A and B are shown apart, each in its own frame.
Chain A
Amino acid sequence: MKTLADLKKIREKAQEEMKLRDGKVRIKIVVGMGTSGIAMGAREVMKTFLEEISNRNLTDVIVTQTGEKGLSSMEPLVDVIEEGKPKVTYGNMTPEKARRVVAEHIVNGRVVSDYVVSTGD
């Protein structure tokens, strides 16, 4: 390391590794992981989200989980929460659908209306 630019490079890479801790994220993907969610395959869905986000190197998106959301018949349920926009809830998710949500909604900002269960709180 010889210059401030070198330092900056290391910093940016390390910050990416620590993004979970700083709370500054653009989009939060919340996967419903109650008993019924898990029974319907929520873990596979969450894994797919994690893989997609990692593959696309999306640094400002985090995936987290929550408990039972009440709408058991539509599990697995996934919320996409973006700063300043109404929450979007997707239902009956599968790994394939998750990939499409990442490609269209997370990356390009177009809500995938085919899978939407509800919007807003």
Chain B
Amino acid sequence: MSLKRIDLLICCGSGCISAGSLKIKERFQEVLAEKGISNEVNIIETGCMGPCDYGPVMVVYPEGVFYKSVKPEDVEEIVTEHFLKGRPVQRLMLKEEERVVPSKKEIPFYRKQVKVALANCGFINPESLEEYIATGGYEALGTVLTTMNPQQVIDVVKASGLRGRGGGGFPTHMKWQLVHDIESDQKYIICNGDEGDPGAFMDRSVLEGDPHRVIEGMMIGAYAIGATKGFFYIRAEYPLAIKRIRNALKQAKEAGLMGENIFGSNFSFEAEVRTGAGAFVCGEETALIQSIQGERGNPTPKPPYPAVKGLWNKPTVVNNVETFANIPTIFLRGADWFASMGTETSKGTKVFALTGDVNNTGLVEVPMGITLRELIFDVGGGIANGHEFKAVQLGGPSGGCLTREHLDVPVDYETLKERGAMMGSGGVIVMNDQKCMVNVAKFFIGFCVDESCGKCSPCRIGLKHMYNILDRITKGEGKEGDIEELQQLGETISRLSLCGLGQTAPNPVLSTIRYFREEYESHIRDHSCQTKVCPDLFHLMIDKERCIGCSLCARKCPVSCISGSREEKYTISQTECIKCGNCQDVCPVKAIDRIPGMHPDVLNRLKEKQNIIIEE
């Protein structure tokens, strides 16, 4: 007999798990057992709810009360006050302008969001097939298999305007149509879950939070193109996603939703998981195919496209996780409904992983065409710690940055591309005014240098060369002409590289030069990093007016370059200082400042060194 009166949904996305949600779940089980109400509360582990910054988060139904940053010691209070007496614990609820937000749906973070791919994420138990079915799961597949032919399926996807969510934005129906039209004894369908952009976790969250949705989307695609075999390619760094997809595949097989003659039709299908070994380039479809075949994950030239000669030389469709996750809803609610959201060329919604210097970091899904301002300031809650917005990097290491002047541009495939950024898979890294753009560009190029597979020389050699130039600039050794050389190299690498990695890798440099050229110039000409990030291009000074001569800084300096006395106060020997910042941290009166620009002593030494090199 079910006496359940409370559904307690605990977010068990990777973010909340690392914040301790599993411990909280155990604590709830203990406390509920102590109070003798275990049979009245249903504890459900869900996928990512989105607002990762507040983790561990949980929602209590039927009221829909949202709790944030819950600690094991808070559990008892929640049980005795809320579950037993019906008084939600206000101190753990979200506050907005001194007002406690009563339920999850009223939280500003959720207000502008429209959930399609994430509809069930954080709402159902991802390890329960029944809960997915309760939300309408597998109904789209059943309807498709029993009432439509493959061409009709492709036509619906075409009418919906769905485009690939993995980066390039290639229309999904075109990929499907190509493979559908080719005669072959065997075709394959692959789900690309090799998400590798720094700061991106959209695919992981969907795979972890709603695995059956991705499987259903893949099966509809398989039926449309005539594939009988599917592969989930998921990177090994996502163990939970792999576990949940494997579990979901097993459940689907046991329930007869996968296997022979599904829903009594003549469509048979099976799928398995293949794990990546952590190479970023394997997110590129030809490299991914090589990897599944057991080869080294190197891209191959296109054409031939995978649609013609893919996995084991058979026609193959590779779609992104989020693309598949949209498919079931398109069939349940209609292509017109999906196409009613978004802009002229970009339909539907897009999942973004909001990270960086923004208040509400986390996972969000918004209609295409939303402005960056709405995304960052309304959904994201603005810039954290009272700083100013400076730039936003869209599309990870393949994308570019946009600035304050672009805040009102709509987010869609074409507009972003025109402005030098790209949709990418949906990583949004927000940067405040404390960030040095040269350093940011160096970080992304460094990432691509590490991840380049080395097959083609523009990418292997060219990117390394770009990195070396950037490294010099950030060390104060930049010279006239460096910016132009970076631009020329970048354009050449983009044009000549074999695959998407090399073709897009220079974007962060090109876009930061485009919008923040003066920062590059001040690094090169003035030997100065205005944001005081590059250690060689700022210096630390002790203000003698404020210094109380306590000697703490001198004692904590790891290179012993601070000297002085109580009477004379303290000074830093600039040529020895390594800019570790220890002295700033320990100074009790905050008398130590970072000053942009190289100290004259250090600059003279650098010039001497350069002269010696020239004379040699």
* Bound CA–CA A78/B429 (angstroms): 50
Picked from A11, A18, A54, A64, the residue with its CB within 8 Å of the CB of B3 is A54
Picked from A2, A35, A62, A64, the residue with its CB within 8 Å of the CB of B264 is A2
* Bound CA–CA A33/B137 (angstroms): 37
Given the known inter-chain contacts A4-B146, A64-B5, please indicate yes or no for A18 contacting B255, CB distance below 8 A. Answer: no
| 8 A Cβ contacts from B61-102 to A | 61-64, 83-87
Chain B contacts for A62, CB-based, 8 A: 5, 62
Given the known inter-chain contacts A1-B255, A21-B7, please indicate yes or no for A15 contacting B134, CB distance below 8 A. Answer: yes
| 8 A Cβ contacts from A1-37 to B | 1-4, 7, 10-11, 13-15, 17-18, 20-21, 23, 25, 28, 30-35
Is there a chain B Cβ closer than 8 Å to A50's Cβ? Answer: yes
Is there a chain A Cβ closer than 8 Å to B188's Cβ? Answer: no
Given the known inter-chain contacts A7-B139, A65-B85, please indicate yes or no for A50 contacting B40, CB distance below 8 A. Answer: yes
- Number of B residues, CB within 8 Å of A: 37
Chain A contacts for B143, CB-based, 8 A: 4
Chain A contacts for B256, CB-based, 8 A: 1-2
Chain A contacts for B142, CB-based, 8 A: 3-4, 7
Is there a chain A Cβ closer than 8 Å to B2's Cβ? Answer: yes
Give B270 Cβ to nearest chain A Cβ, in Å: 16
Residue pairs across A and B with CB atoms within 8 Å: the count is 97
Given the known inter-chain contacts A1-B256, A2-B264, A34-B85, please indicate yes or no for A54 contacting B2, CB distance below 8 A. Answer: yes
Is there a chain B Cβ closer than 8 Å to A104's Cβ? Answer: no
Chain A contacts for B42, CB-based, 8 A: 20
Chain B contacts for A108, CB-based, 8 A: none
Give B515 Cβ to nearest chain A Cβ, in Å: 45
Contact with A along B116-158 (1 / 0, CB 8 A): 0000000110000011011011110011001000000000000
Chain B contacts for A50, CB-based, 8 A: 3, 5, 40
Is there a chain A Cβ closer than 8 Å to B613's Cβ? Answer: no
A9's nearest neighbour on chain B, judged by CB, is B133
B137's nearest neighbour on chain A, judged by CB, is A11
Is there a chain A Cβ closer than 8 Å to B1's Cβ? Answer: yes
A2's nearest neighbour on chain B, judged by CB, is B264
Given the known inter-chain contacts A3-B263, A15-B134, please indicate yes or no for A20 contacting B5, CB distance below 8 A. Answer: yes
Chain A contacts for B40, CB-based, 8 A: 50
* Bound CA–CA A62/B63 (angstroms): 11
Interface size class of A (residues with CB under 8 A): 35 or more
* Bound CA–CA A2/B257 (angstroms): 8
Give B333 Cβ to nearest chain A Cβ, in Å: 16
A57's nearest neighbour on chain B, judged by CB, is B2
* Bound CA–CA A50/B39 (angstroms): 11
* Bound CA–CA A33/B85 (angstroms): 4
Picked from B1, B5, B7, B264, the residue with its CB within 8 Å of the CB of A55 is B1
Give B125 Cβ to nearest chain A Cβ, in Å: 9
| 8 A Cβ contacts from B292-337 to A | none
The answer to whether A66 touches B62, judged by C-beta atoms less than 8 angstroms apart, is no
Is there a chain B Cβ closer than 8 Å to A63's Cβ? Answer: yes
Chain B contacts for A3, CB-based, 8 A: 142, 263-264
Contact with A along B39-59 (1 / 0, CB 8 A): 010100000000000000000
Is there a chain A Cβ closer than 8 Å to B22's Cβ? Answer: no
* Bound CA–CA A28/B244 (angstroms): 35
* Bound CA–CA A38/B80 (angstroms): 12
Given the known inter-chain contacts A18-B134, A21-B123, A54-B2, please indicate yes or no for A33 contacting B263, CB distance below 8 A. Answer: no
- Chain A interface residues (CB < 8 Å from chain B): 1-4, 7, 10-11, 13-15, 17-18, 20-21, 23, 25, 28, 30-35, 38, 43, 46-47, 50-51, 54-55, 62-67
- Chain B interface residues (CB < 8 Å from chain A): 1-7, 9, 40, 42, 61-64, 83-87, 123-124, 130-131, 133-134, 136-139, 142-143, 146, 255-257, 263-264
**What are 17 A-B interface contacts by the 8 Å CB criterion?**
A4-B139, A4-B146, A10-B130, A11-B133, A11-B136, A11-B137, A20-B61, A20-B62, A21-B61, A21-B123, A25-B62, A33-B86, A38-B84, A47-B3, A63-B5, A65-B84, A65-B85
